[in-house]
Amino acid sequence: MEATISMLLELVKPGETVIVEYETSYVPELILKLVADYTKENNVPFVIDDYFDSLYTLLAHYDIHDLDVDIGHSYVLKVGGRNEVGGTVKHVKFHPDPRVLLMNYNENFLPSIGTETPAINLVLGFESALYFVRDIRDFYRLLLGLQRYVGNKRRKAFYILHSEFFANLPRYILPELRRIATSLWTVKSYPAGISVSVLKSPDMGLLGRQFNIDIGGVVSGER
Amino acid sequence: MESVRSSTATANDIRKILDEIRFGSFALIENYSTVGSDLTLYALLNYTYERSLPVIVEDIFDAFAGYVRHFEAMGLAPPMDHVGVLKVGGIDDIGHVVYKLQFEADPTLYLQKKEKAIAEAMGDDRYAYIVTGFERLFGFQRDVKEVYVIVNHLRKNLGNERRLTISITEGNVIEGFPTNPLPLIEDVATSVIELHDHEDLVRLDLKKSVFNILGGTKKLFVRPADVVGWW
C-alpha cells in the first residue's frame, strides 16, 4: 500500500531494533533523506551511528547530484573513519576487540539522546565493523552487546545493511543479526520511490505487508 | 491459498502436539522463520503453566534473554513464575536465574556442571527442560569429536523419565557453522519440527514424528496473530 515515512516510522515501537536490508542501489541515500526530513519536521532526536565514513559517502552522492539533505540537527556517533560530517559529532574510538568498542560506544550513546521523544537511531556501515571480528567469540560479544539495547525505549534503531555483503562473511552472522532484531525489512528502490517489505515485526498484523513510499518530490525538493 | 487459510491450526491442535511429547523424549524445533522461535517459546511457557509443569530454561549466550526482550516489544507477558533459568555464558540476566555457568569450550566440563546445576535446581520434580541457543554451543566446537560428546550426552538422556526436553534451535545459524551437526542431532531426537515462513503464516513441517493429528498430515499452518491470542 501507499505510505508515508511518518506512517512507517510510527509503526515501529520504541525499543525496537530493526534490520533494514538492501541490495546495491540508492536505498541508503533515500532512507537518510526521508529520516532526516521526518526527524527535523517532527522534532524527533536523530542519532546516526556512522561506521567508517559511510555517512560522508552518502552526503557526497547528494552533492554530486546537486541535491540537498539537511542533517544539521543530527547527533553523530562516529566509529572509525576520517571525514567528520553531520550535526554534533562524537568520536567513538574503533577497536577490534568488541568489549572495548562497546564500552566506548556505551559511554557516548546514552548522553546523546534525550529522555522524552524516543530517538531515531540510524546505523550506517555496520557491516564494515563485522569484517574486523576476529573469531566467533568476538562476534558473540558484539552481538550480545547489541542485544542489550533491544527494548531500550529511548530509541528506535535501524541497521541499514547491504545484504550482498554477507556472502563474504561466515554464514551464521546474518541469521544471528536477524534473530536478535525485533523487526526485519527488505527495501528496494523503484523509479518513484522505495518499497518496504515487512518480514518480521512484533506486530503480527504487519507480517508480509508491503509499503511503498513515493520519493520523487522529496529528492527534487518539490515538497 | 484459500484452502491453507481455512485450515490454520487451532490452540487445541498445538496442545495435542505438545501432549504427544513424552517424558524422556527429546523434541527438536528447528526455526527457519522470522517469528517462529518467539511464538514457540511463548506457547511452551503458557502450556507448561497450564499443565503445572515446572520448567528449567537453559539460556545459552543470552538467547532466552533475547526472546524475552522480543515479548516485551510484542506487548506479551507469558507466565514465568514456574520457570528457572540456567545461564550459560552471556551478560543479560532475565527471568529467575537459578544458576550461572561460565561458558566452557570443553563440552565434557560444561555438561557435568550443567547437569549438576539442573539436579540442584529441580530436586525430585518432573520438569520440562527448554534449551535456547543450543546452536551457539556448536559454533565453539573445533572438531567433530567434541560434537559427538554433546550428541552422546543427548542420547544418554533419552528415557530420562523426569525430563521432557525441548530444544528451540535456529536452523540458519547452526547450518552456518563449519561443524554443522544438525543431521547428527536429528538422528538422536525423538521428534523434529521445522518452522518456515509461508507468506504471512508459519508452516510447521513435522519432519520426524509420531504425531498423528489432523488425519496424519505432515504440515500444519499457524497464523502468528492467532498464537498471541490463544493465551
Predicted complex ipTM: 0.90
Interface test with A, best of B69, B88, B92, B134 (most A CBs within 10 A): B69
Count up the domains in chain A and report the number: 1
CATH of the domain at B115: 3.40.50.11570
Of B152, B163, B99, the residue nearest B129 (C-alpha): B163
Identify the segments of chain B with pLDDT beneath 70.
Answer: 1-6, 211-216
Is B43 part of any domain? yes
In whole angstroms, what is the distance from residue A72 CA to residue A74 CA? Answer: 6
Q: Who among B70, B173, B199 is closest to A208 (CB)?
A: B199
Please name every residue paired with A17 in a beta bridge, in sequence order, or none if there are none. A157
Tell me the three state secondary structure of residue A11: helix
Distance from CA of A208 to the nearest CA of B (A): 5
Is B3 part of any domain? no
Q: How many CB atoms lie within 10 A of CB B115?
A: 13
Residue in chain B lying closest to A135 (CA): B140
Interface contact A13-B73, CB threshold 8 A: yes
Q: Who among A136, A145, A208 is closest to B200 (CB)?
A: A208
What pLDDT was estimated at residue B39? Answer: 97
As given in the structure block, the three cell numbers for residue A60 are 557526497
Is B106 part of any domain? yes
Tell me the three state secondary structure of residue B215: helix
Residue B15 burial by Cβ neighbours in a 10 Å radius (0-12, 13-18, 19+): middle
Is B65 part of any domain? yes
Residue B176 contacts by C-beta under 8 Å, 6 or more apart in sequence? A170, A171, A172, A173, A175
- 0.90 surpassed by pTM: yes
Residues across chain B: 231
Residues A166 and A174 sit within 8 Å (Cβ to Cβ): yes
Residue B75's alpha-carbon distances to A16, A153, B41, in angstroms, are 12, 13, 15
- Give buried/exposed letters for A88-122 (b at 16+ CB in 10 A, else e): eebebebbeebeebbebbeebbeebbeeeebbbbb
As given in the structure block, the three cell numbers for residue A159 are 541497521
Interface residue B198 vs chain A (CB under 8 A) = no
What pLDDT was estimated at residue A222? Answer: 44
CB contacts of B66 in chain A (<8 Å) are 147, 150, 179-180
- Structural element, H or E, at residue A85: none
CB contacts of A201 in chain B (<8 Å) are 35
Count up the domains in chain B and report the number: 1
Read out DSSP for A123-162? EESHHHHHHT--SHHHHHHHHHHHHTTTT-TTEEEEEEEE
What pLDDT was estimated at residue B214? Answer: 55
In whole angstroms, what is the distance from residue A59 CA to residue A70 CA? Answer: 10
Residue range(s) defining the domain that contains residue A71: 2-220
127-156 in chain B: CB under 8 A from chain A: 136, 139-140
As given in the structure block, the three cell numbers for residue A170 are 561466515
CB contacts of B62 in chain A (<8 Å) are 144, 147
Interface contact A175-B197, CB threshold 8 A: no
Residue range(s) defining the domain that contains residue B170: 17-196
Is B34 part of any domain? yes
Is B52 part of any domain? yes
What pLDDT was estimated at residue A219? Answer: 60
CATH of the domain at A78: 3.40.50.11570
Is B32 part of any domain? yes
Identify the segments of chain A with pLDDT beneath 50.
Answer: 221-223
